[in-house]
Amino acid sequence: MAFAEGSSAIGQLTGNSSAVVLDASDLLLRYANNVIKNPSIQKFRSVRLGNKVFEKRILPVTGAIECLFAMGFVEDGEHLTLPSGASLHELRWIQKQLAGERLKAMSQTIGHKLSVTSLQASEITFYQKLKSSADHVLMYEDRLLQQQARDVIPFLELNQKAEEKCLNQAQDDGERPLDKRDFLLLELLKWFKTRFFTWTNSPKCDSCNGRTSSMGMLEPSIDDLRWGASRVEGYRCTNCNRAIKFPRYNHPGKLLETRTGRCGEWANCFTLCCRAVGFEARHVVDWTDHVWTEVFSQSQQRWVHCDSCENVCDKPMLYEKGWGKKLSYMFAFSCEEVVDVSWRYTAKPQDVLSRRTECREDWLIDSISKLNQQRQQSLASTRRAILEERASRELVEFLSSKAVKDGEGQGRVSGSVAWRVARGETRRDQATNGNVENYTYKLTSNEKAAKLFHLRYTPARNVYIRVSDDNKEMQEWDSAVHTSTNIQRKEEFDWEMVYLARQEGSPTASISWKMDFDDSGLVIDQVTIKACSQTFQTGHIEWTVCGGDDVCVQLSGGAEAERVSALNGSKSINLKASLSGGQGDVAWQHTQLFRMGLNDHNTYPFEIVVHLREQ
């Protein structure tokens, strides 16, 4: 394809009204995307001229047929056909141009009135932000920094766990299997979240370890600036009145030492760790104030979302669905490219587009293209071809409709409750009165085969671990309870403790978990339950466990696991804790479930082990 031919075809198409451009480009992109996704399947390389949809949406539109010819399609009797073995370079170029024209047409239908004059200053600032982030990620390629990261990563341990999980993975029909590197990424995420990096809402006093309160921003020192900390937060100890500063370091090497911060520090350091162990990684900046990482999966042949703050992988709808964020601009930066990845993270592209008012879409596309040309000019032609093919496949993903997957509806986990509420990033699909209901555990195929159900919960990580089902995890204490009334998870940063308790001001509260084995053909052979709880003053906690035949037993709530032989032969378990009592304004705090250290990630104060037998 001569470049002029493709440009002419696009120019003719965009001479139509915005509504016509949107409709025709939608179908043209569908033809292109089908070929890109399935290059060896012949039916996707052929378009029947007599097709009613084609006759209505392509034939009458000026420039539409010309776009297909520019892609490489040729007349073949009653069809337009893309010859087998033909290069897809032309098709990918047209795909990219059509996607850009769709953005501009959508902007026009939304009603943006973005004049060049009014946006010139804004676009200069916008470009500077893009360039700054694009330059920053070059630091991740520093061999010495990568070695410093490898020195602190327990690679052999993580690699061994990854290999074991890869060998034992369960695979659904039609699902592309994960490889060992995919599992290594999951292990790296877990290690980083639970054992390496910590979250700082406000720093502890370095003299008496007391709590501190904010005093605003301070001037950075020369040493702060050396490590990229142009922002320095000031705090004062509420106990000894000592002044404390919290530099927001932007140098990943320094973060390997401090191992703490908020989302900026987390994603910055984690992306370096990914590069250090050989992953292709991109640092993603969300203009609405969040950052994370994307890693390229060789087995899946796509970029995968990874949020080290939350220990979640491949949950791109998390921010829009779970946190309720009003997204606008999201860019991924690597040593090879800058990519506008906004469309991976939204199921509502027109809503996102309506909030993109800082620059013109055509200016943004052109600016990113120029940045990438500069960055890729020294790359080998074979590598540029790989990046081009990936970009076209990624564009297919961006243009596809999105479905919310399991775990993408959860609220934010990282940060204090007050901080999450202030940012509007707590769970949106939960009633505001704190009541949850109806989750019931059923046996998986692995558990049926092993005749074992083993569940753990740790409030420090705020995660349930299904030990008997390949250690699968469920985030958030309320994600897997049967009923819950007036319960909250409480973090005490002064004492560095965490637990479940009544909501403030609530005289009573209750929580329960339910396991139902009825459809498995198995019954309980033996069950042990550890449900640690503590009371203070006149607080009272009553633990009750019942089987399906209305046999109920009270538990002590002590630190040791208790065997409950009365449930032998039952087909279900319903475990309930009722909280009441206490004195004064903090009565709610006098009944605590699963109290433990904030950083004690390897202790499980709640654990249920059920051995099963044939009925």
Contact 166, 179 (CB under 8 A): yes
Integer-rounded Cα Rg, in Å, for the chain is: 28
Among 182, 224, 307, 314, the active-site one is: 307
Contact 165, 188 (CB under 8 A): no
Closest CA to 523 of 567, 461, 580: 567
Strand ranges inside 96-231, DSSP E = 198-199, 212-218
List Cβ neighbours of 60 (8 Å cut-off, separation of 6 or more): none
156 membership: H or E segment, kind and range: helix 155-167
Q: Decide if 251 is catalytic.
A: no
Contact 413, 310 (CB under 8 A): yes
List Cβ neighbours of 474 (8 Å cut-off, separation of 6 or more): 407, 463, 464, 466, 480
Strand ranges inside 442-571, DSSP E = 452-458, 463-466, 472-475, 483-485, 487-492, 497-502, 508-516, 522-531, 533-535, 540-547, 552-555, 562-563
DSSP class of 470:
T
Q: How many residues does the chain have?
A: 615
β-pairing, 472-475 with 463-466?
antiparallel
513 phi and psi angles, rounded to 5 deg? -125, 140
Among 290, 454, 482, 590, the active-site one is: 290
Residue 608, beta-bridge partner list:
455, 529
The residue type at 148: Q
The residue type at 577: A
The stretches of 295-452 forming alpha helices (DSSP H) are: 318-321, 349-354, 361-376, 381-399, 417-422, 445-450
114 phi and psi angles, rounded to 5 deg? -105, 100
Q: What's the CA dihedral at 303, 308, 309, 312 to 10 degrees?
A: 60
Closest CA to 103 of 28, 9, 3, 21: 21
Q: Decide if 525 is catalytic.
A: no
Cα–Cα distance between 453 and 552 in angstroms, integer? 20
Q: Decide if 313 is catalytic.
A: no
Closest CA to 330 of 318, 347, 342: 342
Write the Ramachandran bin of 261: left for phi over 0, alpha for psi from -120 to 50, otherwise beta: left
516 phi and psi angles, rounded to 5 deg? -125, 115
Among 237, 263, 309, 359, the active-site one is: 263
Contact 153, 299 (CB under 8 A): no
CA atoms within 13 A on the CB side of 293: 34
Q: What angle do helix axes 381-399 and 18-37 make, rounded to 10 degrees?
A: 120
315 phi and psi angles, rounded to 5 deg? -125, 65
Residues designated catalytic: 263, 290, 307
